[in-house]
């Protein structure tokens, strides 16, 4: 999983300031969410892949890195196709993949510490409103770590379902995944609270 993993490089993406890349990612994410339809979702995925390759990930590494995301995306796609039809499934899966790919480009070309420092610096103006910039940066750091962890849980759930001969059963894959993700979030919250960060 490339998300949260920094690969040093000399590409133009690597040389851009972290704040510029963060702003661009937020803008792209907003466009992906606002613009509806399966075609726009597929275009966004193609753009995300192009940026990831430009960042120096390489095609083989890129395909290996998104393999776990595809497991989650296929579960989501199956659910959406069943509930809302194929157009909604393509849009939902495409938007998810596009957002993950763009976020991966950001973390791939920017050290996480630099990214979190930039976030903390950019939200300092909210301090008079009671917002703690360090806690905001911590939340982003937890989010960056949570996505690969969720993908890892999805792969483990998929293997467990396959071992029981239930690889074609959506509930056998989705229900344990949701339970494990919620449990991990609860454990993380308990750990933060024990360190005085949840007060």
Higher pLDDT, 4 or 47: 47
- pLDDT above 70 for 193: no
Q: What is the pLDDT of residue 195?
A: 63
Q: What is the pLDDT of residue 135?
A: 79
62-113 pLDDT, tens digit per residue, is: 777 677 677 777 777 777 778 788 888 888 888 888 888 888 888 788 887 7
**Closest by alpha carbon to 74, among 141, 11, 163, 167?**
167
Helix count and strand count (H, E) for the chain: 9, 0
User: How many residues in total does the chain contain?
Assistant: 199
Weakest mean pLDDT among 23-32, 65-74, 177-186: 65-74
CA atoms 180, 182, 183, 185: torsion sign: positive
DSSP state of 167: T
CA dist., res. 160 & res. 144, Å (int):
25
CA atoms 179, 64, 103, 107: torsion sign: positive
Q: What is the model's pTM?
A: 0.65
DSSP state of 4: T
Q: What is the pLDDT of residue 197?
A: 60
Q: What is the pLDDT of residue 80?
A: 77
Q: What is the pLDDT of residue 79?
A: 76
- pLDDT above 70 for 5: no
Mean pLDDT of 114-129: 83
Weakest mean pLDDT among 34-43, 141-150, 190-199: 190-199
CA dist., res. 66 & res. 40, Å (int):
20
Average pLDDT, the chain: 79
CB contact at 8 A, 29 and 102: yes
First-to-final CA distance of the chain: 32
Mean pLDDT of 49-55: 83
Q: Give 70's contacts (C-beta < 8 A, 6+ positions apart).
A: 97
Weakest mean pLDDT among 1-10, 35-44, 69-78, 116-125: 1-10
């Amino acid at each position: 999983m490339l998300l949260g993993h920094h690969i040093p490089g000399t590409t133009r993406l690597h040389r851009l300031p972290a704040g510029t890349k963060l702003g661009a990612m937020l803008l792209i994410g907003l466009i992906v969410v606002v613009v509806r339809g399966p075609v726009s979702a597929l275009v966004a995925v193609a753009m995300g892949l192009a940026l990831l390759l430009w960042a120096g990930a390489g095609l083989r590494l890129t395909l290996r890195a998104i393999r776990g995301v595809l497991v989650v995306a296929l579960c989501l796609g199956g659910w959406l196709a069943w509930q809302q039809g194929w157009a909604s499934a393509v849009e939902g899966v495409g938007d998810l993949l596009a957002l993950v790919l763009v976020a991966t480009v950001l973390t791939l070309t920017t050290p996480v510490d630099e990214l979190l420092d930039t976030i903390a610096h950019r939200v300092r103006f909210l301090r008079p409103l009671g917002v703690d910039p360090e806690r905001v940066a911590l939340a982003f750091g937890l989010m960056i770590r949570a996505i690969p962890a969720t993908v890892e849980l999805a792969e483990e759930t998929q293997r467990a379902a396959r071992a029981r001969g239930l690889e074609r059963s959506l509930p056998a894959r989705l229900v344990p995944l949701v339970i494990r993700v919620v449990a991990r979030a609860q454990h993380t919250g308990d750990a933060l609270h024990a360190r005085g960060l949840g007060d």
